[in-house]
Amino acid sequence: MIALLVRDMRLAVRAGGGFGLGLAFFLIVCILVPFSVGPQSQLLASIAPGVLWLGALLACLLSLDRVFALDFEDGSLDLLASAPLPMEGVVSMKALTHWLTTGLPLVVAAPALGILLSLPTQGFMWLFLSLLLGTPALSVIGTFGAALTVGLKRGGLLLSILVLPLYVPTLIFGAELARRGAAGMDTQTPLLMLAGITFATIALLPIASSAVIRINLR
């Protein structure tokens, strides 16, 4: 499994779908929003958690179509499906690769980019925590969407349509956790809901993704 993880990370970076693309998109969003809203610090501070979370969500979408595409094109996916490795483990490694190359850089960069949006100082920790807890769910859900569209030509748009509704609960509770933390309000409810969504997706969706891949490879 470790060898598969290392291989997938190398392929993700070489194919141009690694951390650079998502991070650049995230940076562009954070730079353009102040220009569009204007120099209104209070307004920027109030919308900063939602903007940062939305930017992270859209950045995660950019590389989802490559999760299984390269392996499907060169036949590696068929070999992985017939290998003694459990397909659920293979899918989990794909999701982990996506998070390490896309989600984790966004988590690290988000507090620094929050300065551009006048995010209150007490909100930095909660923004970091919400993204650290929520972005794994985005990668796992995205991997499930990629499994549904594997083998389809130009399936990127369909993948986005399928995945975006599934992202909504994570977006709601992740942004709410960051907003409440920045405002000094109670954060227990959104924190528990976000954690529940993440742990549920990690536990259940790899099973569903592996079943979908087996069906698509028949």
Check pLDDT > 80 for residue 189. yes
**Domain interval for residue 208:** 2-216
Structure-model confidence comparison of residues 102 and 72, the more confident one: 102
- Predicted confidence (pLDDT) per residue in 81-120, tens digit: 777 778 888 889 889 988 988 899 999 999 888 888 888 8
Q: Is 144 within 8 Å of 213 (Cβ atoms)? A: no
Q: Look at the chain and count its residues.
A: 218
Encode 144-170: b = buried (16+ Cβ within 10 Å), e = exposed: bbbbbbbeeeebbeebbebbeebbebb
Check pLDDT > 80 for residue 80. no
Provide the pLDDT for residue 156. Answer: 73
Which run of H or of E encompasses 174? Answer: helix 156-183
181 falls in which pLDDT band (50, 70, 90)?
very high
Which run of H or of E encompasses 12? Answer: helix 2-14
Check pLDDT > 80 for residue 216. no
Give the whole-angstrom CA distance, residue 81 versus residue 188: 41
Q: Which of 5-19, 131-145, 199-213 has the lowest mean pLDDT?
A: 5-19
Arithmetic mean of pLDDT, 170-199: 94
Per the prediction, the chain carries an average pLDDT of 86
Provide the pLDDT for residue 118. Answer: 86
Coil vs helix vs strand at 184: coil
The DSSP code for 120 is -
**Number of compact structural domains in the chain:** 1
Comparing C-alpha atoms, which of 55, 24, 56 is closest to residue 134? 56
- Predicted confidence (pLDDT) per residue in 45-55, tens digit: 889 999 999 99
155 falls in which pLDDT band (50, 70, 90)?
low
